[in-house]
Amino acid sequence: MKKTDRDDVLLIDTIFDKFHLVAKQIRQRYSDRDTLDIKDEYDVQDLLHSLLRIFFEDIRPEEWNPSYAGSSTRSDFLLKNENIVIEVKKTRANLKAKQIGEQLIIDIAKYKSHPNCQLLYCFVYDPEGYISNPNGIENDLNDEKGKMKIKVKIVPKGH
């Protein structure tokens, strides 16, 4: 990763940690004005992209990834200068802990050949609390030792 005077991972951690509070706050508008309700993964991406803009200049949404197992996919965000890829997931009634874990394992395998991915940071938004043991999933998937670092954050916790 590019060396700077700032800690890019700490900035992303802060955005992820505060994401749920921001999502709740934007629903409380004067005179019940229209707002962004987080209904699906695209809504999560839209709000997250806005928050990343506070600290990062070159954010590439929907960047194509190298082919893996005969198909190519898109990353949600590539922070090109920082060599960080952010993958976004949102839980729902038919996408709970088991399915999220399986998807993340596949994503991790895909990104190992990405030329600009020194850190894969997976953000899982779980506002309904479908994941009963978020710390377990994070601990199982986080990897600080490999060539490509992997960090998983599930927010919010404590349902």
Concatenated DSSP letters of 73-124: -EEEEEEGGGTEEEEEEE-BTTB-HHHHHHHHHHHHHHHTT-TT-SEEEEEE
Expressed in angstroms, the distance from the first to the final Cα of the chain is 35
In a domain, 55, yes or no: yes
- The domain that holds 97 is classified in CATH as 3.40.1350
In a domain, 1, yes or no: no
Return the amino acid letter for 123.
F
- The answer to whether the CB of 8 falls within 8 A of the CB of 82 is yes
In a domain, 2, yes or no: no
**What pLDDT, on a 0 to 100 scale, did the predictor assign at position 9?**
97
Closest CA to 99 of 108, 90, 86: 90
**What pLDDT, on a 0 to 100 scale, did the predictor assign at position 77?**
95
In a domain, 56, yes or no: yes
**What pLDDT, on a 0 to 100 scale, did the predictor assign at position 2?**
53
d(CA 151, CA 121): 5
In a domain, 122, yes or no: yes
In a domain, 99, yes or no: yes
**What pLDDT, on a 0 to 100 scale, did the predictor assign at position 29?**
85
- Spans of the chain, pLDDT less than 70: 1-5, 62-74, 159
Domain range for 51 is 8-155
Q: What is the mean pLDDT of the chain?
A: 90
**What pLDDT, on a 0 to 100 scale, did the predictor assign at position 4?**
57
The pLDDT tens digits of the residues spanning 87-133 come to: 999 999 999 999 999 999 999 998 988 888 999 999 999 999 999 99
CA–CA distances in Å: residue 62 to residues 29, 65, 146: 30, 9, 25
In a domain, 37, yes or no: yes
Domain count, the chain: 1
**What pLDDT, on a 0 to 100 scale, did the predictor assign at position 42?**
92
pTM as predicted: 0.89
In a domain, 3, yes or no: no
